[in-house]
Amino acid sequence: MISLLQLLREVHGNPQAIFLAGPAGSGKSYLSKQLLPQSFNTINSDDTYEEMLKASGIGLKQTNFTPEQLSQAAKMQAQSRKITQDKLTQALESRQNVIIDGTGAASNPILKKKQELESLGYTTLMLMIYVSPLTSLQRNMERERSLMPGIVLRTWRDVNRNIDTYAREFGDVICCASSEICNILSYDFLICDFFISNLVYAPLVYIVLME
């Protein structure tokens, strides 16, 4: 099987920045491990946030939080974002290849970061993953750290509202994969065909997981 690593080699010596986008339960972490080079430095504020929640003793199930715990969790989330930004800054100073893992629900911060990275000489692209709102809700409840259903649905709505925006800014080529293809881990073939000819010109890959 062709590795996506072969297709993400530096273009003209430029470091790479890959933006991950998708709602809760879309499988971003799983797909990242299957598709993307493990040598890339993954930047994800959720990792730090979860560590802080566990250390505090309040747990990871947001649906079980008291109002006081929700306030405490919000403060920890703000701290985790600052820590993550510091981590990204250090990675960029040493020109590391990075994966910026997020939902993509807010497009302005992502597009601003994209512009900043490109001004530093980075080649940017986005890997966007789709699941249905029902799948997002179901997988959220099955996760160790679950969010309020209202937050899950709002995030799903906002992510998918941004598809046209990201297509315009990153490129307008869409790559679809069925659940059957995903189950046999053949993403590489689909995405490789796209990247080989389009990495520099329209670097948006959009994976649709059919229910």
61 domain-assigned: no
Beta strands per DSSP E along 112-173: 123-130
73 domain-assigned: no
1 domain-assigned: no
pTM value? 0.75
Residue 209: which residues within 8 A CB-CB, separation 6 or more? Answer: 26, 27, 129, 130, 131, 135, 177, 178, 179, 182
Report the number of distinct structural domains present in the chain: 1
Domain that holds residue 174: 14-43+98-208
Q: Which residue has the tokens 């649905």?
A: 153
Question: pLDDT tens across 122-142, in order?
Answer: 988 888 887 788 888 888 888
CATH number at residue 112: 3.40.50.300
Q: Which residue has the tokens 């189950």?
A: 183
126 domain-assigned: yes
Q: How many CB atoms lie within 10 A of CB 17?
A: 26
83 domain-assigned: no
Question: pLDDT tens across 100-121, in order?
Answer: 998 899 999 999 999 999 999 9
53 domain-assigned: no
Question: pLDDT tens across 131-181, in order?
Answer: 788 888 888 888 877 788 888 999 999 988 888 888 888 874 344 443 433
b/e per residue, 145-169, with b = 16+ CB within 10 A? ebbeeeebbebbeebbebbeebbeb
